């Protein structure tokens, strides 16, 4: 069984036992998190849509934190000697998916 969740402005396809890096979440180590905007649940039958996903929930526990790759950028304006160099490194939270609960009485994992 798998589900598609929305977190941090992105969509992720997750399964039970899978570790996924999501945008940074608040919480200590070993805290549980719930992803409630579930977009799709696929088990014996595919559950999608607003009313069918009522009560659908994906839970997980925070395993740790990770950092993305270093991104460097450079902007300049010609003929004015205006130059700017900048860097960014995104921080992520690693979450292990523990349970996928389908809405409206569908099968659970």
Does residue 86 sit within a domain? Answer: yes
Does residue 106 sit within a domain? Answer: no
Does residue 108 sit within a domain? Answer: no
Question: What's the distance, Cα to Cα, between the start and end of the chain in Å?
Answer: 7
The pLDDT assigned to 53 comes to: 82
Does residue 55 sit within a domain? Answer: yes
State the Cα–Cα distance between residues 108 and 2, nearest whole angstrom. 11
Return the exposure string of 91-108: e unless at least 16 CB atoms fall within 10 Å of the residue's CB, then b.
ebbebebeebbbbeebee
Number of domains forming the structure of the chain:
1
State the Cα–Cα distance between residues 40 and 70, nearest whole angstrom. 33
Enclosing domain of residue 82? 2-101
Q: What is the pLDDT along the chain (109 residues), one digit of tens a residue?
A: 899 999 989 999 999 999 999 999 988 778 999 998 888 888 778 888 777 788 889 999 999 999 999 999 999 999 999 999 999 999 999 999 999 988 764 444 4
The pLDDT assigned to 99 comes to: 93
Does residue 50 sit within a domain? Answer: yes
């Amino acid at each position: 069984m798998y589900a598609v969740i929305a977190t941090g402005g992105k969509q992720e396809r997750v399964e039970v036992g899978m570790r996924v890096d999501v945008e940074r979440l608040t919480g200590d180590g070993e805290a549980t998190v719930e992803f409630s905007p579930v977009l799709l649940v696929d088990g014996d039958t595919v559950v999608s849509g607003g009313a069918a996903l009522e009560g659908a929930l994906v839970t997980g526990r925070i395993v740790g934190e990770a950092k993305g790759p270093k991104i460097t950028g450079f902007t300049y304006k010609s003929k004015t000697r205006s130059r700017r160099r900048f860097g960014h490194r995104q921080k992520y939270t690693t979450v292990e998916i523990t349970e996928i609960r389908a809405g409206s009485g569908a099968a659970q994992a």
